[in-house]
């Protein structure tokens, strides 16, 4: 697991571009976000209008880590890290990732707000602090008020520390649940998150991720002024999120096996996936919704494969023992739209097929229109049967038509 996560970035289409752009985005996030906060708090609130510019690098980085987690869930140990392209989708995923963290930290913020209100009431509110201190001193002795204040502060610090530790453990599991389905509500569903977090594979992956972050930041912080440390900090976070995704994928597979359920693969080395709860109308939610979409794409692809024309399938998009994985975006779990490959977007290749789309987007479109595809396939089969191509041997024009040209005409 650790080796696969550490070497995943080397298997992407543009490793150098991901490292350089990711390091630049991380550096801008470290510089612009604190400056923006200081400007809002200590200069003028009007600086808040610059939030889209100041927060954009941080949101792009967050969105890329969501994409890394999703890629690790879907492809397992056999997949590489995704390319840092399609920034609009990265920003949307980054916003949802930030909202997920804010929602998980809301109880802690509420507790501190209540504690601050109590302290304010004791110091400058309707409660007389002198009378309160005198009552405590008469009950506990001269050192009573000091002991009560120290005990209250200790309880608050212990509560905050325990909550932050739990947040550090649960937050990657919630992020994995959100990344797997593309729906933010799955990341906030306690049952869905607990099904991932309370498993051995995820605990192992989380421990390895924390170790990678500790070692990486220990080296990155001293070298941060040289900019090399910033890129290293980005790389170790990519490794950590790859570990989170791989651990979550194994946890989902184990949960499916424990319940005796079978379904579409969550990655290239996965044959089962976790089934989510259903609503009263029988509609699947959560990770199972993405799995159901992959099953529909598989059925449509199998139907198209029986026609005379056939359907193109890339071996890398199909799991060894399962149907092709349907990629989902963070925009409500809808399939990712067709876009040029990463090598084309970074300028390393030029498309020559004329189609302009990638296989992943085509597979998603097939999954969304399975019934229409089946109807088209029946018509194509009838046309191929009613209008067969003439035999090359029966032609008397003196030119020998090879099988390759015939196939090209059929496909055209």
| pLDDT score recorded for residue 338 | 52
| Mean of per-residue pLDDT scores for the chain | 74
| pLDDT score recorded for residue 77 | 74
| pLDDT score recorded for residue 78 | 76
Whether pLDDT at 236 is above 80: yes
Whether pLDDT at 96 is above 90: yes
pTM, 2 dp: 0.66
Confidence of residue 140 (pLDDT cuts 50, 70, 90): confident
pLDDT tens profile 51-78: 999 999 999 999 999 999 999 998 877 7
Lowest mean pLDDT among 35-49, 109-123, 174-188: 109-123
More confident residue, 132 or 323: 132
Share of the chain above pLDDT 90, in %: 38
Share of the chain above pLDDT 70, in %: 60
Counting every residue, how long is the chain? 412
| pLDDT score recorded for residue 295 | 52
pLDDT tens profile 337-385: 555 666 666 666 666 554 444 444 444 444 454 455 455 554 555 554 4
Confidence of residue 324 (pLDDT cuts 50, 70, 90): very low
| pLDDT score recorded for residue 366 | 43
| pLDDT score recorded for residue 305 | 47
Whether pLDDT at 294 is above 80: no
| pLDDT score recorded for residue 276 | 38
Whether pLDDT at 411 is above 60: no
pLDDT tens profile 248-259: 999 888 766 665
Confidence of residue 2 (pLDDT cuts 50, 70, 90): confident
| pLDDT score recorded for residue 268 | 37
Lowest mean pLDDT among 40-54, 126-140, 343-357, 391-405: 391-405
| pLDDT score recorded for residue 127 | 65
Q: Which residues of 372-405 are buried (b: 16+ CB within 10 A; e: fewer)?
A: ebbeebeeeeeeeeeeeeeeeeeeeeeeeeeeee
């Amino acid at each position: 697991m650790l080796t696969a996560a550490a070497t995943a970035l080397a298997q992407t289409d543009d490793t150098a571009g991901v490292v350089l752009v990711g390091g630049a985005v991380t550096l801008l996030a470290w510089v612009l976000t604190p400056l923006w906060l200081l400007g809002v708090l200590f200069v003028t609130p009007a600086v808040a209008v610059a939030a889209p510019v100041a927060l954009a690098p941080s949101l792009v980085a967050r969105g890329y880590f969501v994409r890394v987690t999703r890629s690790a869930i879907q492809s397992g140990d056999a997949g590489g890290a995704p390319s840092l392209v399609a920034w609009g989708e990265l920003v949307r995923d980054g916003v949802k990732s930030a909202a997920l963290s804010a929602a998980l930290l809301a109880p802690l913020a509420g507790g501190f707000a209540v504690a601050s209100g109590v302290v304010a009431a004791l110091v400058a509110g309707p409660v007389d602090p002198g009378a309160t201190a005198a009552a405590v001193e008469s009950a506990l002795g001269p050192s009573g008020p000091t002991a009560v204040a120290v005990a209250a502060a200790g309880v608050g610090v212990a509560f905050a520390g325990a909550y932050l530790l739990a947040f550090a453990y649960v937050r990657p599991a919630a992020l994995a649940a959100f990344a797997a389905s593309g729906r933010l509500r799955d990341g906030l569903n306690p049952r869905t998150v607990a099904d991932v977090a309370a498993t051995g594979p995820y605990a192992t992956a989380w421990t390895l991720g924390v170790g990678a972050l500790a070692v990486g930041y220990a080296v990155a912080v001293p070298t941060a002024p040289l900019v090399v440390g910033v890129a290293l900090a980005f790389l170790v976070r990519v490794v950590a999120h790859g570990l989170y995704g791989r651990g979550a994928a194994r946890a989902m597979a184990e949960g499916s096996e424990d319940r005796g359920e079978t379904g579409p693969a969550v990655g290239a080395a996965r044959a089962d996936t976790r089934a989510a709860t259903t609503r009263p109308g029988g509609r699947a939610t959560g990770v199972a919704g993405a799995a159901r979409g992959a099953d529909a794409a598989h059925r449509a692809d199998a139907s198209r494969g029986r026609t005379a024309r056939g359907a193109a399938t890339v071996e890398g998009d199909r799991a060894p023992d399962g149907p092709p994985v349907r990629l989902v975006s963070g925009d409500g779990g809808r399939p990712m739209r067709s876009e040029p490959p990463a090598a084309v977007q970074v300028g390393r290749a030029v498309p020559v097929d004329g189609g302009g789309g990638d296989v992943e987007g085509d597979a998603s479109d097939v999954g969304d229109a399975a019934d229409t595809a089946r109807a088209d396939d029946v018509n194509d089969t009838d046309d191929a049967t009613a209008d067969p191509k003439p035999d090359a041997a029966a032609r008397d024009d003196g030119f020998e038509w090879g099988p390759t040209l015939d196939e090209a005409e059929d496909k055209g």
